Amino acid sequence: MNLNSIRIYFKTLAIIGFLFLASCSSLPTKADIERTKVTLFEAPKLYTACNLWGKHRVIYAGSSRRGPMLPIGTEITSVKLESKELKTILHYNTDQGTVVEEKKRMSDGFSPSYSDNISFVTREGLEYELAFSRRRHPGLTMFSYLNKLLTAQDMNETLSQYDAEILTAINQGAVVEGMTKQQVINSVGYPMERFTPDYKRSSVWVYYPTKRQRGGSKLVDVCFDSDGYTAECMSAKIDNKVLLN
C-alpha cells in the first residue's frame, strides 16, 4: 500500500467516524429523561409553544402545515413518551401531577410506529401523535424535540404583548413582515433542522410549503433583516406583506 492509499484509507476512516458520532449524538439518554422531568413533567400545566398542524391528528413535523391547525397555547393534560433505545415509557398527567416510568421489552408488544414515539392529549380530550424521527430532526432527541413544542408557560400572556397585526398573523398561522424570530416560531413553528441547522444565527429559515405554495418551489424561505425582523424574500412572497401563509 503506497503513501497516497494510506492517506485515503485514514481519511475515509475519519469521515466514517465523524458520521457515526454525529448519528450517536442524537440518541436519547437517561439524562434526557431527567431534564424533561424537570422542564416539563414538574409543571402544573402544559401548553403548545407554537401553532401545530395535525393531519388525522398526526403532527409530522413542527413546521409541517398539513391538516387542521392546533393553536398555540392549547392546554395539554397528558404526555406519553416511548423510547425504543431506552425501552422506556414515560407518562405524565398534569391533573394528577404524576410521572409514571415503565420499562418495556419489545416482546411486550411495544412497537411504536416510529423509533421514538410521542403523543399527548389536549384539555378537550383530543389525542395527537408527534411523528418524530432523527432523520428528519438531526441533532435532536425525542426529549429535546418535545421541549421545543411544549412549554410550561401560559402563552396567552406572551401573545397579549404583541400588536394587533402580529397577533392576527399568528392566529392565522402566517408570517408577515416585521415579525421577530420568536414570533415566527409562535406562528409556524421552528424551521426544518436539515436545512436550517443553526436557526438562531441564520438569516434565512427554510419551511415546508403550504398547499397554496406547492405549485412553485418545494421549499419556502423566510428571511430576516440585519435587525432580526422578517423581510421580503422573493421566493416566499405571496401577496402584500405576507411571507408565508
Which residues does 35 contact at the CB level (< 8 Å), separation at least 6? Answer: 143, 147
State which residues form the domain around 99.
Answer: 30-155
User: What local confidence, expressed as pLDDT, does residue 110 receive?
Assistant: 46
Q: Which residue, 128, 155, 182, sits at the end of a domain?
A: 155
Partners of residue 118 on adjacent β-strands: 81, 130
Q: Which residue, 134, 155, 176, sits at the end of a domain?
A: 155
What's the mean pLDDT when you consider all of the chain?
Answer: 80
Residue 216 in domain? yes
Residue 15 in domain? no
User: What local confidence, expressed as pLDDT, does residue 29 receive?
Assistant: 81
41 and 143 share a domain? yes
User: Could you give the C-alpha distances from 60 to 35, 55, 169, 175, in angstroms and in order?
Assistant: 24, 8, 22, 20
Instruction: Tell me what the mean pLDDT of segment 124-139 comes to.
Output: 87
Q: State yes or no: pLDDT of 240 exceeds 50.
A: no
Residue 12 in domain? no
User: What local confidence, expressed as pLDDT, does residue 160 receive?
Assistant: 94
Q: State yes or no: pLDDT of 9 exceeds 80.
A: no
Residue with cell 457515526: 20
Instruction: Tell me what the mean pLDDT of segment 98-103 comes to.
Output: 88
Please report the beta strands in the chain, taking only residues with DSSP state E, as ranges in sequence order.
Answer: 46-48, 52-53, 58-59, 69-70, 75-83, 88-93, 98-103, 116-122, 127-130, 150-151, 175-176, 204-207, 220-224, 230-231, 242-244
The grid coordinates of residue 163 equal 400588536
Residue 23 in domain? no
H-run or E-run covering 146: helix 142-149
Residue 8 in domain? no
92 and 200 share a domain? no
Q: Which residue, 91, 121, 155, sits at the end of a domain?
A: 155
Counted residue by residue, the chain has a size of 245
Residue 25 in domain? no
User: What local confidence, expressed as pLDDT, does residue 86 receive?
Assistant: 79
Which carries the bigger pLDDT value, residue 2 or residue 45?
Answer: 45
Residue 55 in domain? yes
User: What local confidence, expressed as pLDDT, does residue 237 receive?
Assistant: 45
The total of structural domains in the chain comes to: 2
98 and 43 share a domain? yes
Q: State yes or no: pLDDT of 106 exceeds 90.
A: no
Q: State yes or no: pLDDT of 171 exceeds 90.
A: yes
224 and 151 share a domain? no
User: What local confidence, expressed as pLDDT, does residue 112 receive?
Assistant: 46
170 and 216 share a domain? yes
Of all residues in the chain, the percent with pLDDT exceeding 90 is 42
141 and 174 share a domain? no
User: What local confidence, expressed as pLDDT, does residue 223 receive?
Assistant: 92
Q: How far apart are CA 64 and CA 60, in angstroms?
A: 6
The grid coordinates of residue 98 equal 404524576
44 and 147 share a domain? yes
Task: Report which DSSP code applies to 213.
Answer: G
Q: Record the pTM.
A: 0.79
- Write out the DSSP string of 7-70: HHHHHHHHHHHHHHHHHHTTS--HHHHHHHHHHTTT-S-EEESS-EE-BTTEE--TT---SSEE
- Nearest to 196, CA basis, from 176, 180, 220, 218: 220
- Nearest to 242, CA basis, from 174, 155, 195: 174
55 and 135 share a domain? yes
Q: How far apart are CA 116 and CA 145, in angstroms?
A: 11
